[in-house]
Amino acid sequence: MTSSSGVLVLAATPIGDPRDAAPRLAQELASADVVAAEDTRRLRRLCSDLAVAPSGTVLSYHEHNEASRTAELVERLTAGARVVVVTDAGMPSVSDPGYRLVDAAVAAGVRVTCVPGPSAVLMALAVSGLPVDRFCFEGFLPRKGGERARVLESLADERRTLVFFEAPHRIEASLRAMAAAWGAQRRAAVCRELTKTYEEVRRGSLGELADWAAEGVRGEITVVVAGAELRVRSLEDAVADVLHRVGAGERLKHVCADVAAESGLSKKALYDAVVAARTVSRATTAGP
């Protein structure tokens, strides 16, 4: 990091209720040399809610000008400016503009920090009623049906709780695609308008939620889906799987650990069974 570098501040903004803003947010907006906002009109509204007026330059920074404006912002940062990035709601760079700038700032040796704040992902997890000890965030699903189906298929065996963002006009199609890929009985929750006046959390199976969504859903939506249940497999099937993968070139110990985790079998018992099966196979091949 160079001594003359400025600081890049990713500032989380409220996802609905302006009272959720961190006290530091107003301070950063007021004192920044540059405020880069996804929507400058929304920024003005937020500043009005927070009773603050930016003293520095305010410019737009969104998906359509992110590539071209990043170089300008990095130039200001390396010259010593304090640049604050805000998006319409939540943390910049998380399914919003910001990642490109962070990557460029890090490469330039600029310090990057955050102002913490509300998170639709964490709030939806907390109120979903689903396991929260392990989870993964998948952002928005692809718009096209074929691409969406392929992504969902790749997540079919994911045991962690899954979190998605979705648009109101696509929520029914996405829920039906999830039901087709993972089963209509998989538990889920649709959380909409979090922290806002019409906040609603619908819990049920994917099939039930898809039928509910057919009536029309409005607002900002976060979907939480239970992870896949552990598939219990017989030791014989697991051994056959390990032998096939080892035959294709994978390492025995790594494959045994992977298959044991997926199947719920003891890693040692599986390893011993595979070794025994290989011994029998070699003896049979060798003949009398």
Q: What is the pLDDT of residue 283?
A: 63
Q: Does the residue 16 lie in any domain?
A: yes
CA-to-CA separations, 146 to 28, 149, 150, 182, 209, in angstroms, rounded? 44, 5, 6, 16, 21
Q: What is the pLDDT of residue 284?
A: 67
Q: How far apart are CA 115 and CA 8, in angstroms?
A: 11
Do 169 and 259 share a structural domain? Answer: no
Do 126 and 113 share a structural domain? Answer: no
Tens of pLDDT, residues 231-259: 767 888 899 999 999 999 999 999 998 88
Do 52 and 33 share a structural domain? Answer: yes
In the chain, what percentage of residues exceed pLDDT 70? 96
Q: What is the pLDDT of residue 7?
A: 97
Tell me the mean pLDDT in the region 182-206.
Answer: 96
User: Number of structural domains, the chain?
Assistant: 3
**Can you spell out the DSSP letters for 206-229?**
HHHHHHHHTT---S-EEEEEPPPP
Tens of pLDDT, residues 80-109: 999 999 999 999 998 889 999 999 999 999
Domain extent, residue 145, equals 121-225
Q: Does the residue 1 lie in any domain?
A: no
Q: What is the pLDDT of residue 126?
A: 97
Q: What is the pLDDT of residue 2?
A: 46
Domain final residue pick, 68, 87, 118: 118
Looking up tokens 């074929």 gives 146
Q: What is the pLDDT of residue 263?
A: 77
Q: Does the residue 220 lie in any domain?
A: yes
pLDDT value at 19 more than 80: yes
Tell me the mean pLDDT in the region 179-188.
Answer: 96
Tell me the mean pLDDT in the region 175-200.
Answer: 96
- CB 175, CB 210: distance < 8 Å: yes
Q: How far apart are CA 50 and CA 18, in angstroms?
A: 8
For position 197, which CATH number holds?
A: 3.30.950.10
pLDDT value at 228 more than 70: yes
Do 46 and 63 share a structural domain? Answer: yes
Tell me the mean pLDDT in the region 3-8.
Answer: 79
Q: Does the residue 104 lie in any domain?
A: yes
Q: Does the residue 2 lie in any domain?
A: no
Tell me the pairing of strands 161-166 and 135-140. parallel
Domain final residue pick, 225, 247, 264: 225
Whole-structure pTM value: 0.77
Domain final residue pick, 196, 225, 254: 225
pLDDT value at 3 more than 50: no
Q: What is the pLDDT of residue 285?
A: 64
For position 59, which CATH number holds?
A: 3.40.1010.10
Q: Does the residue 128 lie in any domain?
A: yes
Do 149 and 46 share a structural domain? Answer: no
